[in-house]
Chain A
């Protein structure tokens, strides 16, 4: 049965780019309400791992102070795309980027871009929580220290603010000096979010931040994301479609390195424009 499904998809997928190229290239004009400010945008983004092309002509806009979710089957390029937004792919050897990635209209792959400054503005939370083997305090203070973002005297205040903002302060306030590795998985992930927020980025990229967590920890992260969008622009990659539906305003569906559909989340989940999106969302494959 599963074999059948696979074959069905394979026979259908080559049709994606030609089926409705306009839909993939530019979202429908009414996707964003009038007056929405676009924080990040890509134009005709191609990405290559050696000779393998992982992204094909992805053009997408991320409006500010909202949550945009990327969904799609494994290997569809959504994480690769996310990592283009803060140039995390730079450290992978033998990779190549074509097209434009804009942050407030400035090309982040332009020759004059300072990658370090870019990553300060576009923070990231990873799939697997990766606290440093340091104390809880040191973890959150790390970004502030290396970027010399505040005085020594303000450090404690900034750390507390970030921990409060990540809804973990009450759980760790009495043990700021103990190792971050002693926290539970969910706490570690919220600590990593606090670490990212401490340097007050404008955009926060989250790569399946709850995929390794139990339902309760996941719920906490989702509530957190919901709160954070008042202040931050959030892009989240998720495998969990309910999660995308719960936390995001906009959803982009990726398939085989192509952006298939990008629209208001409500529309994607109730009345998708593409047949393949509907098939994925209703669990026909993936």
Chain B
């Protein structure tokens, strides 16, 4: 075998391995998606989106309360985590070498690695124990704790990619440091930051563990933040471990809605990024 053909063979092998890895990585995703669609689609009907769960034994009903609950929980988490995470990210990128920044960076990374059930326990101690009541607020706070480190670190990294010359330009025009950050640096990094936020939203919308003993569950339609609230994930969990076939079917439908929701967030992330980027270029 000549050196040339050996080299070509090696190249083909490596390319082949790359392709194979991609397929292996995609198979679980494709399987999950198709199985969820196959199982869930047949149980999906108008009632599922508009009706409340029926009592045990009665067939039918839906998850209107859980869908609304999930949206509320995500809303609370976003309202808390986006400002906190963004401002923390700005701090990390503006004062990267300060002691506080190293501490925040370390803490954020550690928090990111904390199992979500532990975050749930923490939120339980923080927002459930003192008032002796599960609440939508407690669930939203638990989810916010999961979002903050993701947003902070993403914002930091993306702000670091903005040329420092833009900051200097703003300062030279009589801008204060914070004004420069908010009016020039953040807008310049916005496409990426938006992606980070949407990825974080997609990540938390699928969480069950932090909600089990914070927002708990609610069989009724509730929009009150100080009351237990239903969520798709907890509802799917409850139905999936039940012994009833009809509930199993509903759990599949709930899983399908959840997967679709996450898919929408991811798609939105791509669209928003592309739009904003186009605006920034010529």
Contact = CB atoms under 8 A, between A and B. Distances in A.
B280 A142 contact: no
Interface residues of A, number: 29
Contacts of B163: 130
B168 interface: yes
Given A93-B97, A132-B166, A143 B281 contact: no
B172 A196 contact: yes
A130 B281 contact: no
A116 B174 CA distance: 5
A91 to B, nearest CB: 7
A90 to B, nearest CB: 9
B188 interface: yes
A119 B169 contact: no
Contacts of B183: 142, 146
B5 interface: no
A30 to B, nearest CB: 34
Nearest to B190: A133
Given A91-B168, A93-B97, A130-B168, A147 B280 contact: no
Given A179-B281, A181-B281, A182-B282, A146 B166 contact: no
A231 interface: no
Interface of B: 97, 163, 165-177, 179, 183-184, 187-188, 279-282
Contacts of A119: 171-174
A133 B187 contact: yes
Contacts of A128: 165
Contacts of B188: 132-133
A173 interface: no
Nearest to B94: A91
A120 B97 CA distance: 28
Given A119-B173, A126-B165, A146-B183, 16 more contacts: A88-B171, A119-B171, A119-B172, A123-B172, A123-B173, A130-B165, A130-B169, A132-B184, A132-B187, A132-B188, A142-B184, A146-B173, A147-B174, A181-B281, A192-B169, A196-B173
B96 to A, nearest CB: 10
B169 A146 contact: no
A134 interface: yes
A74 interface: no
A91 B95 CA distance: 10
A143 B183 CA distance: 11
Contacts of A236: none
A250 B269 CA distance: 55
Nearest to B191: A133
B143 to A, nearest CB: 32
A139 to B, nearest CB: 9
A268 interface: no
Contacts of A86: 172
A146 B187 contact: no
Nearest to B167: A91
A69 interface: no
Contacts of A133: 166, 187-188, 280
Given A130-B168, A133-B187, A146 B279 contact: no
